[in-house]
Chains A and B, each alone.
Chain A
Amino acid sequence: MIKRSFFGLVKPKLQYEIIDEAQAEPVRIKPGKQIMLYIDQPDENAGNALFKIGDPVKSGQKVTLSDGSADYLLSSKSGQISKISPFVGILGKKSTSLTIDVDGESSQSRDESFKSACQAPSLENARDFLAGLPGKPDFNVFFDSEKPVKAIVVLGADDDLLGITNQYFVKNNIIAIKTGIELLCKITGISHAILIVPQQLEQVAGSSGAIIKTVDSEYPSAHPELIMQHMLASEDVDAKSKSGIAFFSSEAVCAIGAAYTTGKFFLEKMVTFVSKDGNKRLVSVPIGTPLQDILNEFNETLNDGDRVVFGGPMKGVSVFSTDTPVMPDTDTIIIQDKRQITEGSDIACINCGECVRVCPANIQVNQLIRFLEAGQYEEAADQHDLFSCIECGFCSYVCESRIPVFQHIKLAKHTLESMKAAEESNA
């Protein structure tokens, strides 16, 4: 954990992790006995769902709860569904978890339905087949007729601290990125492709054929919203409307390229695994592998009170079980010892202004937090720029009162959004 420097006159700086020149090859984790898939859909029609317990699943097969749904995952292994249970995620999001008992290595079978589709690459079959690839590419933005996408931005930099997953692909697999970008441009008809990389990787990235932009090494400069604001302002895109740009991670682009050229899905997720002692390793795991399998591989033991974070230290999500599986968008997994955890508090804001000076979105957090703590979310949104927040987590990181500012902000946004949704459905 990076502590406040002794001299506090200057703004705190958090540096992104830069991939080593001699980064060790990723450790491949062998598939365990089970994989788990979390599908972003409540298990409402449990009786007539597409899948039932005991159904066989092939590797690469789309797993979803209803036909034609955009929420699906691709099973990384073949096996039999052994358990379907509802699962409540962060902010009460209802999803369904499917447990698949993995077949033995010799009896693995592959789903072939993509084979024919890959002959004629198109946006439709990308949306229908590829959204479950590692990096979780989102093709839905291309189908929004109101806000046409004008540029494709590939993130070759990691947007949270400690992670080196995206950089790894730029450094070691730039050819695959090139193929992926070419394919994306072809199927979308958009010629404007930008590859965002840290300065150190600028040279390597040059051979990708895309326009190269660099981000500096200070958090949160690689945050998608800031990239839009600062770097693309000069480009021919409307920086204010979020949907003018489609973001892809470099890992997703590689996987898309590979899927169309080979007709097969590559369903192993690259994860930066940070153990308790701060040791950082790249691991390649089949999507759906429970965390416990990774812990076993590295002989990492967890005790009561430790914390496991999926995602980076600033924006990630902490999980409450070691059964939690690696998802297509899990770039980083961090294990924190109990002693490394700073607890939040309910002390009032002392108005020191650290958060205001550190906020990349220029929000008056000291004012905002007073409204949020009082539950006055509408005032917060109207007068105190609640929705300008890009969710970088810096305010909570520097807070002297240790107020969970970021959590307040997330809760306020969620509450307002669900109120709005309720109003619309009643109208």
Chain B
Amino acid sequence: MHSTLKLTVSHAPFWHNGSSISTKSRNILLASLVAVIPGCYQYGMAAVGVVTLSIASAILWELLINFISRRPISVGDGNAALIGMMFAMMLPATMPWWAVITGTFFAVVIGKEIFGGIGANPFNPAVLAMTILMLSWADLFDFNAALLNYQFDFKAVYPLVLSKTFGASAVDPFALMDLLFGKQIGGIGSTFGIGLIAGGVYLILRGFVRWEISFSFLVGIFVSALCFNILNPEAYAGPGFHLLTGYTLIGAFFLATEDSSSPVNFIPMLIYGLLGGALTVLIRNIGTHIDGVLYAILIINLVNPIVDKIRPKALGKGV
């Protein structure tokens, strides 16, 4: 007796907790808006233009690669949009359109797709693109020059430049509360500290971001900046300043936590974050670059596979 009923047959388990990549991307995008909207408010329509162009071009680059490599269309998972958003958050509002499009090309095509697409990228795509651009067109990222035509009700100097050039005393006028509420110049989505923290905490509570990485990254910055500050308080700014300026907060909550380029075990996550934080402060205080977050993240991305070997023994495997 052949019944015509066609049942779904698949392998166990028959339950799924309902998580998906698109949910995750959507939530991270949502959380980033908390920082991006105040940024757009501060820098006006130019910033909106940069953000939208960045997201749109990132999606189009991925679509193009999908067609060229004859792979299924993968823009629906929201990862390309997310890369575009992360990239735009770090840019100054005055970024020319061609640099944005070139940047998303580096992020999506060079940073992600040529390694095999989502999950295969060894570096955070947005960070990789930023560093390529920063090394290629350093002038575009001189925040002081870029934002010259803006009128702000606060000191319109990139704080990290001040501390680098004139020592710790030069940053005294920056009250930490002002820095926290975005009264500093910088990338579109990377200055409004309280928004980044709120977004980051939301992502941590929802489990989209591993708290271990964000937490240890911030601890790394705090501890190493404190050491410098104690050794030579005149030359090196205090830990609070380092935590709230440059790309620190966006780095801790949005960039270092990118899935594919970060470790998954507990101790490796802590090492990864601490190392990133310490490297950031080292580059800022001793290196030649103004901000060290992006380079530090690239370096910890590089050591991720090695530190992730520190892991508990599997069941039934020797002592």
Contact = CB atoms under 8 A, between A and B. Distances in A.
Interface string B261-295: 11111000000000000000000000000000000
Interface in A370-427: 385, 387-388, 390, 393-394, 396-402, 404, 406-407, 410
Given A9-B211, A308-B7, A357-B264, A362 B314 contact: yes
A305 B264 CA distance: 36
Interface stretch (B16-24, B157-165, B217-225): B16-24
A319 B1 contact: no
Contacts of B316: 229, 240, 361, 387-388
Given A9-B207, A306-B8, A350-B118, A314 B314 contact: no
Of the listed residues B7, B13, B16, B207, the one surrounded by the most CB atoms of chain A closer than 10 A to its CB is B13
Contacts of B260: 350-351
A341 interface: yes
B18 A315 contact: no
A393 B117 contact: no
Contacts of A338: 8
A347 B14 CA distance: 19
A40 B262 CA distance: 47
Interface string A334-369: 101010011010011111111011001111101000
Contacts of A357: 264
A322 interface: yes
B11 interface: yes
B133 interface: no
Of the listed residues B17, B77, B211, B260, the one surrounded by the most CB atoms of chain A closer than 10 A to its CB is B17
B95 interface: no
B259 interface: yes
B135 interface: no
Nearest to B204: A9
B9 A319 contact: yes
B314 A385 contact: yes
Size range of the chain B interface in the assembly:
35 or more
B259 A350 contact: yes
A387 B262 CA distance: 26
A308 B3 CA distance: 15
A232 B228 CA distance: 53
Contacts of A349: 119
B5 interface: yes
Contacts of B3: 321-323
A313 to B, nearest CB: 5
Contact of B317 (A320, A385, A398, A404): A385
B315 interface: yes
B306 to A, nearest CB: 13
Given A7-B207, A309-B14, A354 B8 contact: no
B6 A304 contact: yes
A192 B1 CA distance: 49
Of the listed residues B116, B204, B315, the one surrounded by the most CB atoms of chain A closer than 10 A to its CB is B315
Contacts of B11: 318, 404, 406-407, 410
* Interface secondary structure of B, over-half rule: loop
A402 B119 contact: no
B191 to A, nearest CB: 27
Of the listed residues A3, A393, A400, A410, the one surrounded by the most CB atoms of chain B closer than 10 A to its CB is A400
Contact of B19 (A4, A304, A316, A341): A4
A24 B105 CA distance: 64
Contacts of A322: 3, 5, 7
Contacts of B6: 304-305
Interface string B194-227: 0000000000111110110000000000000000
Interface residues of A, number: 73
B120 interface: yes
A302 B5 contact: yes
A260 B264 CA distance: 54
Nearest to B10: A318
B315 A3 contact: no
A385 B313 CA distance: 9
A314 B15 contact: yes
B12 interface: yes
A1 interface: yes
B7 A306 contact: yes
A93 to B, nearest CB: 14
Interface in A1-49: 1-4, 6-10, 12
B120 to A, nearest CB: 6
B173 interface: no
B311 interface: yes
A406 B204 CA distance: 27
A319 to B, nearest CB: 7
A307 interface: yes
Contacts of A356: 264-265
A311 interface: yes
Contacts of A401: 21, 119
A306 B14 CA distance: 12
A390 B315 contact: yes
Contacts of A316: 12, 14
A336 B14 contact: yes
B8 A8 contact: no
Contacts of A351: 119, 259-262, 264
A347 B12 contact: no
A388 B315 CA distance: 5
Interface in B235-267: 259-265
Contacts of B264: 351-353, 356-357, 364, 366
Interface of A: 1-4, 6-10, 12, 161, 225, 229, 240, 302-309, 311, 313-323, 334, 336, 338, 341-342, 344, 347-354, 356-357, 360-364, 366, 385, 387-388, 390, 393-394, 396-402, 404, 406-407, 410
21 contacts: A3-B18, A8-B207, A304-B7, A306-B7, A308-B7, A315-B12, A319-B7, A321-B5, A323-B1, A323-B3, A341-B14, A342-B16, A344-B10, A347-B74, A348-B118, A350-B119, A351-B119, A364-B314, A388-B314, A388-B315, A393-B12
Query: Which 3 pairs across A and B sit closest by C-beta, in order of nearness?
Result: A8-B207, A353-B264, A361-B315
